[in-house]
Every structure is written in structure tokens, then in C-alpha cells.
């Protein structure tokens, strides 16, 4: 992967000149041009370009170690959290269903009691 070419591609798509980018990251136009030719850049430079171009240039390293392992571990953690939240949601939905049934039963009981009271009132 030639990260410099990728940065140039994104910059061109967003109509950013080398000078504009250089001004935004406090580098010279020539430095930006040189970066476009590099196979790799420091993490600080990648973050600067990512910020200015609103594009995640680190993502191109996700399949390389150690990023690959870190991402897999993060994804496992996220999946565990998602599964836990799904379980909680399911339990909450079941509670809501039970409470709805209880409310319906209580309404029926109240209605029956009203009818009984009305029936007793009219027989007197």
C-alpha cells in the first residue's frame, strides 16, 4: 500500500491543493508533495492528514499486525457488549409484555367489580 498515493487521491477528490493542505498541517507545499510519494508516514502525519481531509488513513493498516489483532480484540469486546445489550433488551421486552398482561387483567377485574357494584346498587 502506498499511503502517499491514497492521501493524494483523497485530497484530489476533495479539491485540496498541496499548498492548502500544507497550510492546514503546518508543512510546506513541497513536504506535502514529498509525502504523496512515500510508502509510509508517521502516525502523527497520518492523523494530521486524516483530520484535514476528514478521512481515516489509519484504516489502510487494519489488516496488518499489530492493528489486525487489536481490531479483532475490540470487535470481540463490542460483540460481547452487543450480545449483553440484546439480552437486556429481550428481558425488558418480556417484562413489558408481562406488565401489559397484568394491566389488562386489572382492567378486566375493575370492570367486573364495577358491574357487580352497579348490580348490587340496583337490587336494593
pLDDT of 124 strictly over 70 = no
> How far, CA to CA in Å, does 95 sit from each of 32, 69, 104?
59, 39, 14
Convert the pLDDT of each residue in 38-95 to its tens digit: 999 999 999 999 999 999 999 999 888 998 999 999 999 999 999 999 999 999 999 9
Residue 103's pLDDT band, with cuts at 50, 70 and 90, is very high
- Enumerate long-range contacts of 6-15, CB under 8 Å, 24 or more apart: 6/57, 6/60, 7/35, 7/36, 7/41, 7/49, 7/53, 7/57, 8/36, 10/53, 10/55, 10/57, 11/53, 14/53, 14/54
Amino acid at each position: 500500500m502506498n499511503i502517499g498515493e491514497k492521501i493524494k487521491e483523497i485530497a484530489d477528490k476533495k479539491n485540496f491543493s498541496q499548498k492548502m493542505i500544507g497550510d492546514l498541517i503546518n508543512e510546506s507545499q513541497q513536504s506535502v508533495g514529498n509525502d504523496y510519494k512515500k510508502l509510509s508516514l508517521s502516525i502523527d502525519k497520518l492523523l494530521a492528514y486524516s483530520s484535514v481531509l476528514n478521512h481515516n488513513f489509519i484504516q489502510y493498516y487494519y489488516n496488518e499486525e499489530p492493528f489486525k489483532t487489536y481490531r479483532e480484540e475490540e470487535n470481540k469486546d463490542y460483540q460481547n457488549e452487543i450480545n449483553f445489550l440484546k439480552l437486556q433488551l429481550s428481558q425488558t421486552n418480556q417484562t413489558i409484555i408481562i406488565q401489559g398482561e397484568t394491566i389488562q387483567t386489572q382492567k378486566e377485574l375493575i370492570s367486573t367489580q364495577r358491574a357487580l357494584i352497579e348490580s348490587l346498587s340496583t337490587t336494593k
